[in-house]
Amino acid sequence: MTPQEIHDSLKATFGDAIADAKLDTPQPWIAIAANRTKDICFFLRETPSLQFDYLMCLSSVDNKDGRLGVVYHLYSMTHKNKIVLKVFCMRDNPHVQSVSAVWGTAEWHEREAYDMMGIIFDEHPDLRRILTPDDWEGHPLRKDYKVPEFYQGIKVPY
């Protein structure tokens, strides 16, 4: 299916949970609502004509306009098709519905997104830090991140 068809089919099923889309770039993307990601992804995985059963990558992005974003790169093993989904959430209240029930691999990717960017994934089975120590403060990949002076008595910047 072409990206335009995927966009139309999503719009038909979910209506206004689908926001804008950019379909004329080499890697077209569709923006979706932050609180309906699980349903939309289930639809994308289960519909026989789409069958996006492989989550290639889940990245967190810090857009400078006060929003944080999550980018999902999906691939279908049967149809050999790719699509990109984007979710935007406000910086001071970053909540996105988790998709770890749809793809098992999302569990660790979302933990990394939480660790690095501070995005909180609702309904995640085990949301805790993965790459930084469990008691680290701050979210390193944010653009306004300041390295802490001391961590448990050790001087951090040198």
Partner 1 sequence: MGPQHPSTHGVLRLEVVLDGEIVVEVIPHMGYLHRCFEKHSEHMTNYQQVIPYADRMDYLASMNNDWGYALAVERLLKIEVPPRVEYIRVIMAELQRIASHLIAIGTYGIDMGAFTPFLWCFRDRERILDLFEMTCGARLLYNYIWVGGLSHDIPPGFVDKAKAFCKYFLPNVKELNGLLTFNQIFIKRTANIGVLPADVAINYACSGPMLRGSGVNFDLRRDDPYGIYDKFQWEVQVGRGEMGAVGDCWDRYIVRVREMEQSIKIIEQALASIPEGDVQSAVPKRIRPETGEMYIRTESPRGELGFYVISDGSTSPYRVKARSPAFVNLSVMPEISRGCMIADLVAIIGSVDIVLGEVDR
- What residues make contact with partner 1 under the rule CB under 8 A? 25-27, 53-57, 59, 61-62, 71, 73, 77, 80, 84, 103-105, 107-109, 116, 129-133, 140-141
By beta-carbon proximity to partner 1, the closer residue of 35 and 71 is 71
By beta-carbon proximity to partner 1, the closer residue of 18 and 74 is 74
By beta-carbon proximity to partner 1, the closer residue of 18 and 107 is 107
By beta-carbon proximity to partner 1, the closer residue of 31 and 35 is 31
CA distance 15 to 13: 6
CB of 112 to partner 1, least distance (A): 8
Distances (CA, A) of 125 to 61, 104, 112, 150, 155: 22, 11, 14, 31, 34
CA distance 157 to 140: 14
CA distance 118 to 1: 34
By beta-carbon proximity to partner 1, the closer residue of 8 and 126 is 126
CB of 146 to partner 1, least distance (A): 12
CB of 41 to partner 1, least distance (A): 12
Q: What SS3 class is residue 63?
A: strand
- Quick one: which of 91, 82, 108, 96 has its CA closest to 25? 82
Using alpha carbons only, how large is the chain's radius of gyration in Å? 17
CB of 37 to partner 1, least distance (A): 17
CA distance 70 to 58: 7
CB of 25 to partner 1, least distance (A): 7
